[in-house]
Structure formats: C-alpha cells, structure tokens
Structure 1
Amino acid sequence: MENACTNLNQVARAVRLLKIDGFSLTAGMGGDYCLKSIWTVDGYELEVLIYPGTTWVALKLVFLSEARTQWGVRASMACQLVDLSRELEPYHEYGVSETFYHPQDFGALVFMDRNKIPSGYIKDDMLTLRCAITVLKELPAPTIPAEEVITQPSTNLHQHLGELLQSEMGADVTFLVSYESFAAHKYILAARSPVFKAQFFGDMKEKCSARVEIKDMEVAAFRAMLHFIYTDTVPELDRPLEEVTTLAQHLLVAADMYGLERLKLICEIKLCDGITVDTAATTLALAEQHNCSKLKAKCVEFIVSTPAVLEAVLATDGYKHLEASCPLVLTELLARTFFSLLLRVLFRQRANLVFVLMPYPGI
C-alpha cells in the first residue's frame, strides 16, 4: 500500500532581525514611544511596533491591509532575543496570533521585563530581536480540470508602437534636438501628453507645423522620453544609478515639462534610491523646482543625517547652485539641521539632565 501525503494548508513566513541601538537611552521614554518596522507577507502589509521605554518591553502586530476573504487573515508573530556574536543561544520565544479583518486590527505581545533581560544579549548598547511573522494563506477554490486551458496572451502593444517609432512609418512631425532629428506621430504624442495635445491640436502655432525645434533639452533625455511615450518603458534607467543619475535628472525635467506624471514618478523613485554627497544638493534643487515632495524629503533627510555629510554637501558646487536657484529651501534645510543637532545633544545628555519644578512665589 502506497503512502500519500497531502498538504491541507499553506503559510507564508518572513523573518527579520530588529536591532534597537542605544537601548539604554530608551528607558523611561513612556508608553507612547515606539519603534516601527513595516513588513509585507503574502501580499498583506503589516507593521511591528516595539515599545522599549516602559518597565516591560512590549510588541504590537498591526494589520494595515484589508482581508481578501470574509473569514479574515490568520497571522502570528514570534519573537526572541538573539546574540549576533552567536556566543549565546536564542533566548526564549514569545508569540501572539490573531485573526485580522480590517486596517489597524492588532495583536499585542508583552515581551519581557527590560530589567530582567540577560546582559549578554545587549552588545554595545544594542538589543537584537529575531521576529517571524507567519500568515495562513488562502487555499484556492477547487476547480474542475479542463482538457485544454487557453491562457490569455500578454500584451504586445508597447512592442508594436516601439516598432512604429523606430520605422518612422506614417510619421507626421519631426523634432529637432541639438541638430539631431526624431520622427514621430502627432496623435500618439497627443494621446500621451496634454502639452503635445495642446501644441498640435489646440491654438498653438505648431498645430500645422511638421517640424518642431526643442530647445534646452539633452538629446538623450528627449530620446528616452519619446521611447517612454510609445512604449511606457524606460530601459535607459535600468542601469546602475551612478551611470544614469544625470539622465534621470534631465528626464524628470522633461517629464514635468510635458505632463508625463508616470515618467516623472519613475525618475523621482530612481533618484531617491541613490542620493550621494555629490548629487544631494543638485537633486534637492531639482525636487524643489519641479514639486517632487518625496524626493525633496529624501534629500533633506540625507543632508542633515550627520554633521560630516552636511559639511561635505556644503562644499559641493551643487550646493552653490541650490543657494542661487532655491534660496527659500535653505530656510527649511537650516531648520531641519538645527532640529537634528538638538535631538543629538538631548540624547547624548539625557542621562545627565535633571528637571526641577521650582515653586512659584505666592502659590
């Protein structure tokens, strides 16, 4: 008789090491102070909140999504202390499990008395927790197998339009960019860009023109923008960021100029991933001028991250450009710098600060 094994359910699991640096400084921070970590498991977004400031180190697992079924989502979180040097074995596992239905549903876990945490697990004032989140996956509904399954083919519209651009067949407008010409189709351009729509089918002078000169734009940026209009892709940005930073900056300007919001967001995301000392100020000026709030916030966060980084950025030519082109953003940068330095001073001196409430005369 042959033995058979059937898997009746499936789970998705994610494991992370969560490090609390400066653990001693979190003592007495109060019950509202918490550290946050966002997770994605089986397509669901969850958040782990760690409350280290009270007598007990506590954790909370918060559900940030909407359950895909009426029965909710069964999820659990397990947590234990670990020693990164591996001199000590992981210390006692604590866990909590809940069924989640809607955003902000949560399960709470009281981890342990912070005063009873073995000192061996605190290295260089850093406490490390290994957390695992497990989600019970929904089983697919049973289906009756068919003799032949016909799958829907993937779209190839972008490929055909890209070939049309390359072949120049039926092109009715030519762009001249720095003495290089590009043939295109007015109807496709108008369908993708509100600026081109107004330019060719509104009251602008290029309405009947078959030749348009583009000024103040790099050839590489215009070529990439034109390819995106036809194919909705930007293969030029698939290379490492250090090779395409300048192109991404120019392409963001072009996208903003022609109302291509998706291309603008693609460039913004690409630039957010690789901000350096050499590019931070230039990119910040770009973000300010073209209303890229996420990119602006990332640049400011990087510049004020440490005094050394701030000093290095201030010495770049990009900062001189920022100072000349966007003087108003310097006020915000100065405020963030002062606030960041103030926080560092407060945390360093926290152990020595004593607050005394003096009685007011006459009371």
Structure 2
Amino acid sequence: METAGTTSLTDAARLVQLLKIDGYGTTKAMSNDRCTIASEWHVDGYGWEIRIYPDASTYPHPNSWVALDLTFRSHQPRTGRPYVRATLGCRLVDPRGILKPSKEKTETRLFCRSGDSSSTLLLMKRQDLEASGYLKDDALTLQCTITKPAVPSSNLHKHIAELLQSEKGADVEFLVSGESFAAHKAVLAARSPVLMAQFYGDMMEKSCPSVEIKDMDAAVFKALLHFIYADDDTVPESAVMAQHLLAAADRYGLDRLKAICEAKLCADIEVETAVATLALAEQHGCGQLKDRCVEFIVGSPTVLDAVMATEGYRHLEASCPSVLTDLLARAAKKLKRA
C-alpha cells in the first residue's frame, strides 16, 4: 500500500490521505485474519491506525465487503477527559478523474485507551467493487479521513449552572429520597426530551409545583441536575456512581451523559463488577460497553472461571439468560480459535 497524497487541516484536527492498494486480486486467496492492511496516522498529537479488510465478512452481513476500522494507538487522553472522540471517513476515488468519488461512509466513536477500535465501516461489497470502475489494474484507491472535532469554548454553561446554585426563578421542586431540589422547568425541558414531555406535554406534572422521583438516590439526582445545567463532562469517581448515573441518563434521554458514563465503565471493568456491568449494558442498549465486558470475561480461562464464581454471574443466569447465552457463545468461539 502506498500513500498517494496527504492534506493536513490542523485547525480542524483533520487529516486526509489517499491510500492506494495494489494486488487486490491476491486477497481472494487469503483468510480474513491475514487479509488486513494497516496504515499509521497522527492527528492532533494522537496516534491512530486504520485497518483495511479487502475481504471482510461481518455478521449479520453475509457478503464479502471492503471494510475498515479505526484503532486508537495513544495512551490515556491528555485533555483531562476520559475519552477522545474521532470520526473515520472513507470513500473510493478514481485517480484518473473519470468517475466521481463514491459516497463517503463514516464511523464515530469515543476512544478511552490504546487499542480501542471503532465499529467496522462497511465501504462496499466486493462484488459491487469488482463491477465498478474503481478497481483498475488490480488496484484501488481509498480516500480516508480522520477527524477529531474541535469545539469552540463557551461560558454559557457557567451562567446556566449559576441558576441551579442560586435557585433564582426556580419553578419546580423535586423530592428525591427525602431531599428536595429546586430547578427550572424550561432548562430541564431544553435538555431532556423526557422532561419536555413531562412539563410541556400532556403528562400530569405539567402544572405541579413539585415532582417526586422514585427509585433514585438523591446523590445520583444531584449529579444528574449538575450535568443538565453545567453540561460538565467530569467523570464520576466511582464505577457504582457511573452505573447509577448511566441508568438515570438513559431514563431522561441524556445521551451525552450516558456516553460519558459508558466510557468510564469501559475503562473500569473488574472480575467482581463485570457481570453487573454487562447486565446494565444490555438493559440500557450500550453496545460498546457490552462488547468490552464480554471481551474482558472471555479474555482468558482464568478470568472466565473467576467471573462464573461470582454472585453476579448466578444472578445473571436467572435474570438475563439471553445475555448469558451470547456470552457463552463468544467464549466457545474464542476457545475454538485457540
């Protein structure tokens, strides 16, 4: 593989490269494990690796695809945040300029530590590629892009957060586990679609000056309010708080807070917490966290045995048999490969 050209847009933290792959036909005789092409990148001070799979087969897509993924190759993010957000983009181009570039496909993910990979980007089916004009002289050219979004700083969140602290203009009171919290309906509704419906829809709390929140600790609700007002991406200190806050974020439609908690939990999986975190991920639709838990549990026979001996595993057998079935299937698949 050769790099046909490079353009760096440093202010936007974006890098674009043309990657030419020669000998495309030889990939048909190679297994999926061997048929991988890697390209090292450096964007905004971070190391990245784009892996290209000319003959990928990914469930539930039975056909062979030209596919890619993005892997983080740096240590802990240096910004103080627990993650780096990056987007992988790719499209096929015709170096001759005869064909227009194909439609760009993208994958975005939060990267927490070295080795984290994005979901597989399915670029084009092999049969479609081979029938197109992008494959010329047994070679194809990909235009790949890595973008690390740069968001201008703003102090709006500081002013909004001051409203929470001062309680000026508060028009609703929440009662949570014996504690009360004053807040502003308009701010809450602007941040949460659930609270928008609760206060400005047809729900009964529309005109109520107080709302009781059940099944939630006061400390969790206080942290939830702080995020709603301050948009603070500070990571919860404990994994237990991150678990409760993730569930609360999902309950109120706060996707960014949910992603922050998911990233925290992805980095803090241990034998004693793996099964509980796996069940949480299944319950709240956190695919990345679920995959990380499964990877940890089936990572070695020793870890698998230790996890199966925990109380959490026995609870999972009774409460989430579908998750257990998936877990054991992946473990069997890994052992078969070994």
Q: TM-score, length-normalised on structure 1?
A: 0.56
Q: 1:197 to 1:65 in 2, by over 3 A?
A: closer
Q: How far apart, CA to CA, are the structure 2 residues paired with 1:313 and 1:35? A: 33
**2:269, 2:293 within 8 Å by CA — same for their partners in 1?**
yes
Provide the C-alpha distance between the structure 2 equivalents of 1:281 and 1:184, rounded to a whole number of angstroms.
36
How many Å separate the matches in 1 of 2:49 and 2:175? 51
8 A contact 1:284–1:322 mirrored in 2 = no
1:114-140 CA-to-partner distances (Å, cap 9, x unmatched) read xxxxxxxxxxxxxxxxxxxxxxxxxxx
The answer (yes or no) to whether the contact 1:178–1:218 under 8 Å persists in 2 is yes
On the 8 A contact 1:224/1:236 being kept in 2, the answer is no
In 1, distance between residues paired with 2:268 and 2:38? Answer: 22
2:143 is matched with: 102
Q: 1:65 to 1:245 in 2, by over 3 A?
A: same
For residues 267-302 of structure 1, give each alpha carbon's deviation from its aligned partner in whole angstroms, at most 9, with x where no partner exists.
111111121111110000001111111111111111
- Inter-partner Cα distance in structure 2 for 1:254 and 1:199: 16
What does residue 42 of structure 1 align with? 43
RMSD over aligned CA atoms reads: 3.4
Structure 1 or 2, whichever has the larger Rg, is 1
Q: Which residue of 2 aligns with 1:263?
A: 257
2:291 to 294, 297, 306: 297
Q: 1:283 aligns with which of 274, 277, 302?
A: 277
- State how far apart, in whole Å, the 2-side matches of 1:300 and 1:313 are: 11
Aligned 8 A contact 2:235 2:260 in 1: no
The 8 Å contact of residues 191 and 228 in structure 2, kept in 1 or not, is answered as yes
Q: Which residue of 1 aligns with 2:335?
A: 341
The 3 A distance-change label for structure 1 pair 253 and 154 is: closer
Unmatched segments (≥5 aa) in structure 1:
1-9, 13-28, 51-61, 68-99, 105-152, 345-363
Partner of 1:252: 246
User: In structure 1, what is the equivalent of residue 178 of structure 2?
Assistant: 179
Alpha-carbon distance in 1 for matches of 2:250, 2:89: 32
Q: Give yes or no for the alignment of 1:310 onto 2:304.
A: yes
Question: Which runs of no fewer than 5 residues in structure 2 stay unpaired?
Answer: 1-7, 11-28, 54-68, 71-87, 92-140, 146-151
Whole-Å separation in 2 of the counterparts to 1:194 and 1:49: 39
Q: Percent identity?
A: 56
For residues 46 and 65 of structure 1, the distance between their equivalents in structure 2, rounded to whole angstroms, comes to 13
Instruction: Tell me by how many angstroms 1:179 deviates.
Output: 0.4
Match of 2:323 in 1: 329
2:174 and 2:211 in contact (8 A); partners too? yes
User: Within 1, Cα distance between the matches of 2:39 and 2:218?
Assistant: 41
Secondary structure of the corresponding residue to residue 102 of structure 1: strand
- How far did 1:230 drift? 0.6
Mapped to 2, the partners of 1:38 and 1:285 lie a distance apart of 36
Alignment-mate amino acid for residue 42 of structure 1 = V
Once residues 170 and 176 of structure 1 are traced to their aligned partners in structure 2, the CA distance between those partners, rounded to angstroms, is 18
What's the counterpart of residue 266 of structure 2?
A: 272
Letter in 2 for 1:103: C
